[in-house]
């Protein structure tokens, strides 16, 4: 965990891609998982966890006012914990993911509060424009980004550190049956993911046939 | 030059996303440099900015179409060719919903999952056929493939919308996005089916009978098949429930010694 600050900053930059800036998909688990895995010398675990999250949460996208769970944080926490504390252990990686899921949902609440705070900045910009202070438009945008970056980096730092301690402690007390089950889950979870992905195709239409029918 | 500048600014559309007016300040931020050159008089500029401060929401990938049309309209107002100062607002409110639906359904509902499936197939093929050292290819393919289409579309849509203006609506309707989406969904289904096949081939085939123990051992293909069926049938439930259900299911299998 010696790169805690660096990983918190990288994590915040990746999470910003979800809604705040760009949407280049660098926030998707299939990219950020192996990225952190590569930094920690275990790209395999990163890729595997990223693949599981990508498939199971295939429909989690920020549409309209819906705020989805931060999959970037979920994957990043799991990969960083498992690769830095129990590198190469499949069961430890799955346990890290099981622990990262509630933390990601916890972060969603923080994110919601942050977006509510954005409303206050928006009103401040609005008043500024009414008074002829046009610079507030750019300032509002940069403030929005800055507050997002600060709150997300702090959350990454806290969760990486405190969650990491919790993860290490809990993992050492797991009974052997649970360890065996976690090892099995390493192979079973992608299959659950495949099922979740295929469910999306249940209403698929073949365009050429449809054209003929028309 | 100004088009490139606007193009870069469109990436900030959601930087001040808020529950009350969603992307309003982001939209103002994109338009501001254009307004500065269109309306030299500060009061006129203020009125123009206030016209666009209201609620606004669309798919961020489709914003360039609306931005170009609004700029064209504002340009006409500034030059005196257009008398109806409410036209830019009308363009925004009329266009935002339909283009957002296209963006959501194509980019987020079809293209992103499609590229994910290609990467997932690459991961599984790396384990099955290629070397594990080729693992890094999958995320690179994902990011490059996705962004080649995404960024090209964003830039193209900005440039072409400036040129075509309101005729852009006709062009979008002719694009047959739904038809293209259906084709990608079918290719995606084939890709994910291949990924499942290679996954089962790699991890799901063990001998049915363990000769040393002289007992029937559940073949993994049976277990994987059952999991696959359950997950498909439970596809409607929330992913987080599915995830913990999968873990509990694994515990049960582990407890039963399967």
What count of other Cβ atoms lies within 10 Å of the Cβ of residue A124? 15
In Å, what is the CA distance from B207 to each residue of A173, B118, B203? 34, 30, 12
The whole-number pLDDT of residue A210 equals 53
The whole-number pLDDT of residue B215 equals 46
Which residues 70-99 of chain B have a CB within 8 Å of chain A?
none
Distance of residue B78 Cα from the nearest chain A Cα, in angstroms: 19
Which residue(s) pair with B216 in the sheet?
A: B209
Q: At which residue do the structure tokens 């489709």 appear?
A: B62
| Residue in A50, A191, A205 nearest the CB of B224 | A191
Instruction: Compare all CA atoms of chain B with the CA of A30 and give the residue at the minimum distance.
Output: B139
A1 in contact with chain B, both atoms CB, cutoff 8 A = no
Encode chain B (258 residues) as per-residue pLDDT tens digits. Answer: 678 899 999 999 999 999 999 999 999 999 999 999 999 999 999 999 999 999 999 999 999 999 999 999 999 999 998 888 899 999 999 999 999 999 999 999 999 999 999 999 999 988 777 666 778 899 999 999 999 999 999 999 999 999 998 898 889 888 888 889 989 999 999 999 999 888 888 876 554 444 444 444 556 677 777 777 887 777 778 889 989 988 898 888 777 766
Which residues 153-172 of chain A have a CB within 8 Å of chain B?
none
| Residue in A43, A59, A65 nearest the CB of B19 | A65
What count of other Cβ atoms lies within 10 Å of the Cβ of residue A138? 17
Exposed (0-12), middle (13-18) or buried (19+): which is B180, by Cβ within 10 Å?
A: middle
Instruction: Compare all CA atoms of chain A with the CA of B183 and give the residue at the minimum distance.
Output: A207
Chain B partners of A193 at a C-beta cutoff of 8 Å?
A: 231
Token pair recorded at residue B102: 């296209």
The whole-number pLDDT of residue B1 equals 64
| Residue in B182, B196, B244 nearest the CB of A194 | B196
pLDDT tens per residue across span A9-35: 999 999 999 999 999 999 999 999 999
Distance CA(B101)–CA(A52), nearest Å, equals 28
In Å, what is the CA distance from A182 to each residue of A45, A91, A186, B66, B185? 14, 5, 6, 50, 33
Encode chain A (214 residues) as per-residue pLDDT tens digits. Answer: 678 999 999 999 999 999 999 999 999 999 999 999 999 999 999 999 999 999 999 888 777 778 889 999 999 999 999 999 999 999 999 999 999 999 999 999 999 999 999 999 999 999 999 999 999 999 999 999 999 999 999 999 999 999 999 999 999 999 988 898 898 889 889 988 998 898 888 777 666 655 544 4
Chain B partners of A127 at a C-beta cutoff of 8 Å?
A: none
Q: Could you give the dihedral angle defined by the CA atoms of residues A19, A23, A27 and A29, in that order, rounded to the nearest 10 degrees?
A: 110
B26 in contact with chain A, both atoms CB, cutoff 8 A = yes
Mutate to test the interface with A, among B239, B240, B242, B244 (most CBs of A within 10 A): B239
Mutate to test the interface with B, among A47, A75, A90, A209 (most CBs of B within 10 A): A47
In 3D space, the residue among B186, B11, B52, B2 whose CA is nearest the CA of residue A141 turns out to be B11
A206 in contact with chain B, both atoms CB, cutoff 8 A = yes
Chain B partners of A189 at a C-beta cutoff of 8 Å?
A: 243, 246-247, 250
A145 in contact with chain B, both atoms CB, cutoff 8 A = yes
Distance of residue A107 Cα from the nearest chain B Cα, in angstroms: 15
**Contact between A191 and B234 using a beta-carbon 8 Å cutoff:** no
The whole-number pLDDT of residue A54 equals 95
Token pair recorded at residue B247: 């873990």
Q: What is the DSSP string of A77-98?
A: HHHHHHHHHSTT-HHHHHHHHH
> What is the residue range of A70's domain?
4-213
In Å, what is the CA distance from B61 to each residue of A21, A59, B66, B69? 12, 18, 11, 15
**Contact between B250 and A184 using a beta-carbon 8 Å cutoff:** yes
Q: Provide the number of structural domains found in chain A.
A: 1
**Contact between A47 and B138 using a beta-carbon 8 Å cutoff:** yes
Going by the DSSP 8-state scheme, the letter that residue A159 receives in this structure is I
| Residue boundaries of the structural domains of chain B | 2-187, 204-256
Chain A partners of B113 at a C-beta cutoff of 8 Å?
A: 58, 197, 200
B127 in contact with chain A, both atoms CB, cutoff 8 A = no
The whole-number pLDDT of residue A104 equals 95
Quote the longest CA-to-CA distance of chain B.
92
**Contact between B136 and A189 using a beta-carbon 8 Å cutoff:** no
Average pLDDT score over chain A:
91
């Amino acid at each position: 965990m010696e790169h805690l600050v660096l990983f918190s900053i990288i994590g915040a930059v990746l999470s910003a891609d979800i809604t705040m800036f760009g949407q280049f998909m660098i926030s998707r688990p299939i990219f950020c998982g192996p990225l952190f895995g590569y930094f920690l010398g275990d790209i395999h675990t990163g890729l595997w966890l990223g693949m599981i999250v990508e498939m199971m949460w295939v429909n989690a996208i920020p549409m309209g006012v819906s705020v989805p769970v931060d999959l970037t944080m979920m994957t990043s926490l799991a990969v960083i914990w498992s690769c830095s504390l129990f590198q190469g252990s499949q069961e430890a990686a799955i346990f890290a993911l099981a622990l990262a899921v509630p933390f990601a949902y916890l972060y969603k609440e923080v994110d919601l509060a942050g977006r509510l705070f954005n409303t206050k900045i928006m009103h401040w910009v609005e008043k500024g424009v009414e008074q002829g202070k046009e610079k507030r438009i750019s300032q509002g945008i940069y403030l929005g980004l800055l507050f997002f970056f600060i709150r997300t980096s702090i959350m990454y730092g806290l969760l990486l550190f405190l969650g990491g301690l919790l993860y290490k402690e809990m993992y050492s007390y797991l009974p052997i049956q649970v360890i065996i089950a976690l090892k099995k889950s390493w192979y079973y979870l992608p299959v659950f993911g495949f099922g979740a992905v295929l469910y999306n195709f249940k209403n698929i239409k073949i365009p050429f046939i449809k054209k003929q029918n028309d | 030059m100004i088009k490139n500048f606007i193009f870069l600014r469109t990436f900030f559309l959601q930087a001040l996303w808020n529950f009350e007016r969603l992307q309003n300040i982001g939209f103002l931020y994109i338009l501001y440099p254009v307004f500065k050159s269109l309306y030299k008089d500060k009061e006129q500029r203020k009125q123009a900015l206030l016209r666009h401060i209201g609620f606004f929401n669309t798919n961020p990938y489709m914003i360039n179409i609306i931005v170009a049309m609004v700029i064209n309209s504002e340009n006409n107002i500034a030059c005196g060719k257009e008398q109806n100062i409410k036209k830019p607002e009308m363009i925004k409110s009329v266009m935002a919903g339909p283009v957002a639906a296209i963006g959501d359904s194509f980019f987020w509902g079809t293209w992103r999952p499609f590229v994910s499936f290609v990467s997932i197939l690459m991961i599984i093929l790396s384990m099955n056929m290629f070397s594990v050292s080729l693992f890094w290819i999958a995320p690179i393919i994902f990011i490059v493939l996705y962004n080649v289409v995404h960024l090209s579309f964003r830039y193209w849509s900005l440039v072409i919308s400036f040129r075509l203006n309101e005729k852009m609506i006709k062009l979008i309707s002719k694009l047959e996005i739904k038809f293209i989406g259906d084709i990608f969904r079918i290719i995606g289904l084939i890709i994910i089916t291949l990924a499942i096949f290679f996954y089962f081939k790699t991890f799901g085939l063990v001998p049915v009978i363990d000769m040393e123990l002289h007992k029937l051992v559940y073949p993994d293909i049976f277990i994987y098949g059952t999991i696959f069926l359950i997950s498909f049938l439970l596809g409607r439930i929330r992913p987080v429930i599915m995830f913990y259900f999968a873990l509990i299911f694994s515990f049960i299998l582990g407890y039963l010694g399967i």
